Structure formats: C-alpha cells, structure tokens
Amino acid sequence: MKMLPPHRHRSSLEEPLRLSDLPGIIDWSGKIAYLDRDGVLNKWREGYVNSPEELEMLDGAGFAVGLLRRNGFRICIVTNQSPVGRGLWGHDVLSQIHDSLQEQLLNEDKDAEIDLILYSPYPPDQGAWARKPRPGMLEAGRQLIENSEFNSDQPTSISYGKNWINRPSEKGSILVGDRESDILAAETFGVKGIRCNPETGIAGVIDMIISPELEGQN
C-alpha cells in the first residue's frame, strides 16, 4: 500500500484553504459532510463522466447541499477519478467538470457551496492510500478544513494513517456514498457512513442526516 496523496481541485494539496462563511450566523462546530460525487450529486454514467457536458445532476442535490451548510456542515467532496491516472484525460478536464458541478449546485441553491474538492487520480492497482476504500482523502479533508478554520494563513502539513495523531472527533460528521468502497472508507476513518441509492443520491437520504423540523432553526 502506497501513501500516494489525494489531489485538490485547482490547487496544490497543502496550500491554505480559504473558506466562505457558513450561511446566516452559524459558527462551525466541527461537522463535515464528506460526499462522494457520482451517484450522490450527479448521475452515475457508464464509461465515466468525461466532460462538463456529460455531467447531469441528480434532482435535489443542490438543495441538499445547501441544507447541509445551513445546518452547520462543511462540504468536502471525496471522489475516485482513475481516468486521470489511466491517461483517458487530464487534471484540466476534471477541473472543468468540477467547476460545472459547483455551478449547477449553486444554480439550484445559493447556499450549496462546496468547501473542498479532493480526488484520487490513481487506478486501483496502484494501492493508493488516497483511493477509497482507503481513507486518505477523508484524512486530508479534515486537516485542511480544520487548519483553515483555526490557522488559515498557514499551509497544512498533512499526516496519514498511523502518522496522524491527536485526531479531532468526527462526532456529528457523515459520509454519503453509493458504493461499498465509500462505506468501508467511512468505517476505516471513523465517521458515520450513509449509503444512498445512485438513482436518487443525497436527496434521498438527507432526512436521515437532518430532521426537516431543524431547517430554519440554526
């Protein structure tokens, strides 16, 4: 197993992360929603999503992400994207796809801002720590967001596996994914995993995360 690190959308991994304020007057309590991408936010596609034009959002995904942020969650996308490592297309194409993802979420809900996008470009046979079901993306996501909240001007020195000590609590955080590899990554990392139906995605499980009566109380 190799400690190959995740990659970060339009940024080097460890550079300071600039976070926008949560909606309203919410103070962040440490909750992160780690979200898989395909089958959670957008429709899963046979043969990969290969361009922004092929990215088709699932109904209600933008509202669900906005609802999470209105209830105090930071949003961290954690997605396996082996086409990059396989040479099917490059990091630049994936950046364009993720730009479109953010734009379409915000078109549905103005609060549906993604705080951080991490991806693993490695094929399965490389045994990368960053590729789910291993927890490398989740480990990096927590450290980047924590560092931004409390020490925003400094780069984050990211530790993985047994090298990461004094880990913060993941109480209140969740991971949503549509595959067993997502749930295994959640279990290894120590966060509650919720498996969704890829036909309905996050909108189909949002009530398991946030009770409808809580909306508007924060």
Active site residues: 36, 38
Please give the structure tokens belonging to residue 184.
């295994």
What DSSP state is assigned to residue 75?
A: E
Rounded CA gap, 171 and 183, in Å? Answer: 16
Under 8 Å between Cβ of 33 and 22: no
Q: Strand pairing of 32-35 and 7-8?
A: unpaired
Neighbours of 171 (CB within 10 A): 11
Please give the structure tokens belonging to residue 41.
């936010």
Q: Strand pairing of 174-177 and 32-35?
A: parallel
Backbone angles phi, psi at 34, to 5 degrees: -85, 120
C-alpha angle 205/118/182, rounded to 5°? 40
Identify the H or E element spanning 137.
Answer: helix 136-150
H helices then E strands: how many in the chain? Answer: 6, 6
Rounded CA gap, 21 and 123, in Å? Answer: 35
Neighbouring-strand partners of residue 117 = 77
